[in-house]
C-alpha cells in the first residue's frame, strides 16, 4: 500500500490555499461574495488554514439556484470557501492517485469532461 507523507500538511498549507483561491475565483470576480472575499483574502485564508489545521473546519451548506439558460434547471451552488478547499484537496491528491484511476473516470478531472466521455463510448 502506498503512503503519502505529510500530505495533509501540504493540502492545508497557506501556499496551497492561496493557489487554490486563485483558481476558485477565476471568472467570478464580478460576484459580490467573491469581491468581499478578495477584499480580506489574506485574513480569510489564514482563518481557513487555522480551522483546517485544528480540524474544526466544516463544509458550508450548499444552496439551490434556478437558472433558465440555455434551459430551465436547478443547480447546486457551493460557497467560495468550500470551493477553495476542494481545489486545495484536488490539486494535491489528483497528481498522486490520478494514474491509478480506471480509463473511464471522467468526473472532476482536467481533460476528462463530458465530451471525452461521449467520445470514449
Segments forming the whole domain that contains residue 61? 7-120
Q: Which whole number is the average pLDDT over 72-93?
A: 93
Q: How confident is the model at residue 47 (pLDDT cuts 50, 70, 90)?
A: very high
Angle, in degrees to the nearest 10, between helices 32-39 and 14-25: 150
Q: Which whole number is the average pLDDT over 3-27?
A: 93
Total structural domains within the chain:
1
What per-residue confidence (pLDDT) applies to 93? 87
- Residue 97 located in a structural domain: yes
Average predicted confidence (pLDDT) for the chain: 86
- Residue 1 located in a structural domain: no
- Residue 99 located in a structural domain: yes
Amino acid at each position: 500500500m502506498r503512503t503519502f507523507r505529510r500530505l495533509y500538511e501540504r493540502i492545508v498549507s497557506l501556499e496551497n490555499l492561496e493557489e487554490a483561491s486563485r483558481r476558485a475565483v477565476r471568472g467570478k470576480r464580478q460576484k459580490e461574495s467573491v469581491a468581499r472575499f478578495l477584499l480580506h483574502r489574506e485574513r480569510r485564508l489564514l482563518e481557513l488554514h487555522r480551522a483546517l489545521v485544528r480540524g474544526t473546519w466544516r463544509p458550508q451548506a450548499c444552496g439551490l439556484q434556478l437558472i433558465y439558460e440555455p434551459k430551465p434547471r436547478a443547480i447546486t451552488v457551493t460557497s467560495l470557501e468550500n470551493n477553495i478547499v476542494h481545489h486545495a484537496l484536488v490539486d494535491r491528491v489528483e497528481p498522486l492517485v490520478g494514474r491509478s484511476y480506471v480509463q473511464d473516470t471522467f468526473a472532476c478531472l482536467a481533460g476528462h469532461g463530458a465530451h471525452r466521455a461521449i467520445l470514449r463510448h
